[in-house]
């Protein structure tokens, strides 16, 4: 039986949220900023359910459901995630055929031999808890490092699941052909490896690998027209990037970069070189991007096809205007007004949903003014 996800949580599990609205002006479409909930503990990822409701991950390891102005107590049975540095319970996404399958996918920092590594799980929500839990991917080379887990999700038009893993703080891992770190990976929805993954003929290369040379992608989205996967990734000190993902490509980290080390040391003298894919867009200084969504709803027709990106360091929502794969405009919204924006999603209602990253994190929604 496929679970009915909006009916499984008893009313007693919910605590009241808050609501407020502010009007903001932008270059193309004014909007109201509505606070749906506060009191979230370092929220990281969100998924908007069809028909209403929002699933929210908290970095400490809890999954909650927002619905009708209230936030549930933690959902039981979620796989164990270890909060360390940037690790914990991270992204959440619904299966493309969610109405039929009920599958929900989670990424997290999981413990195993050697320390922590990025894991991918799927399960369903039924009868008040997480059920049918399956571990689809478990990073093999785990370490004690608490950063650069990557962990964002996207599906392509064939329903295959893409997820990111950062370099785990060791820059050489991104170019090591035998390593799972510093890459975008692709699997089938049941965890098996697609027969046309690009590195299957290379001995010792992880079969799930789809790209190389990625530093720490914390934003991923599928272009609504081309079906290509786009990502953004943290640079070091400067050099945050937006990239278009193509099979077998190498995005250059750390051989090419627009950034320098946090100490001020030079990482590479090159910003571009043969054999490496140049980014579509670069930020210097860094904005620390997190979360990303293409706008394809009806609520803001002026933003159709634009790329929306949250920023942590710069505490804002970035709107990029595109012409094909070229960025032709950038607008910065909500700058220093709501705090660090951790995730950005567009719901089935066409509204834009945001998570703010703090110990008193908030779920916010952008709605049109008319």
Torsion, CA 95, CA 99, CA 102, CA 104, rounded to 10 = 30
Distance CA 90, CA 235 (A): 20
By three-state DSSP, how is residue 219 classified?
strand
DSSP 8-state code for residue 7: S
- Token pair listed for 310: 């949250």
Phi-psi region of 152 (alpha: psi -120 to 50; beta: other; left: phi over 0): beta
Measure Cα distances from 189 to 96, 153, 161, 211 in Å: 10, 12, 6, 19
Counted residue by residue, the chain has a size of 370
Task: Supply 174's token pair.
Answer: 């991104």
- The answer to whether the CB of 86 falls within 8 A of the CB of 149 is yes
Spot the catalytic one: 24, 148, 232, 258: 148
CA distance 125 to 120: 16
Q: How far is CA 362 from each of CA 105, 238, 257, 271, 353, rounded to the nearest angstrom?
A: 22, 28, 34, 37, 10
- 215 vs 229: CA distance, rounded Å: 17
- CA–CA dist 345, 353 (Å, integer): 5
* Residue 148 a catalytic site member: yes
Helix (H) or strand (E) holding 99: helix 98-101
* Closest by Cα among 318, 366, 367, 310 to 340: 310
Catalytic positions, written as ranges: 148
């Amino acid at each position: 039986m496929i679970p009915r996800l909006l009916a499984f949580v008893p009313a007693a599990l919910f605590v009241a949220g808050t609501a407020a609205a502010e009007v903001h002006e932008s270059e193309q479409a004014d909007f109201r900023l509505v606070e749906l909930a506060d009191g979230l503990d370092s929220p990281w990822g969100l998924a908007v359910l069809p028909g209403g409701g929002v699933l929210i991950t908290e970095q400490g390891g809890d999954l909650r459901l927002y619905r009708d102005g209230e936030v549930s107590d933690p959902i039981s049975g979620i796989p164990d995630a270890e909060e360390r540095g940037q690790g914990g319970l991270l992204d959440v996404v619904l299966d493309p055929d969610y109405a039929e399958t009920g599958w929900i996918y989670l990424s997290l920092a999981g413990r195993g031999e050697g320390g922590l590594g990025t894991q991918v799980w799927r399960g369903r929500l039924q009868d008040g808890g997480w059920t049918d839990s399956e571990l689809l991917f478990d990073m093999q080379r785990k370490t004690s490092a608490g950063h650069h887990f990557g962990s964002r999700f996207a599906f392509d038009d064939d329903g295959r699941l893409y997820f990111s893993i950062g370099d785990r703080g060791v820059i050489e891992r991104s170019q090591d052909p035998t390593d799972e770190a510093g890459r975008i990976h692709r699997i089938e929805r049941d965890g098996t490896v697609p027969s046309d993954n690009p590195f299957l003929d290379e001995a010792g290369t992880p079969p799930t690998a789809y790209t190389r040379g990625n530093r720490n992608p914390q934003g991923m989205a599928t272009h609504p027209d081309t079906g290509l996967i786009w990502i953004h990734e943290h640079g070091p000190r400067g050099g945050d990037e937006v990239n278009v993902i193509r099979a077998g490509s190498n995005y250059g980290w750390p051989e090419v970069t627009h950034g320098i080390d946090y100490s001020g040391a030079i990482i590479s003298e090159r910003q571009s070189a043969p054999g490496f894919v140049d980014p579509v867009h670069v930020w210097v200084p860094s904005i620390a991007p997190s979360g990303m969504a293409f706008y394809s709803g009806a609520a803001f027709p002026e933003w159709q096809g634009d790329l929306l990106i949250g920023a942590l360091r710069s505490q804002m929502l970035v709107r990029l205007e595109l012409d094909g794969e070229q960025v032709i405009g950038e607008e910065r919204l909500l700058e220093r007004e709501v705090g660090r924006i951790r995730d950005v999603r567009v719901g089935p209602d066409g509204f834009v949903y945001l998570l703010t990253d703090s110990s008193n994190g908030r779920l916010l929604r952008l709605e049109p003014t008319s």
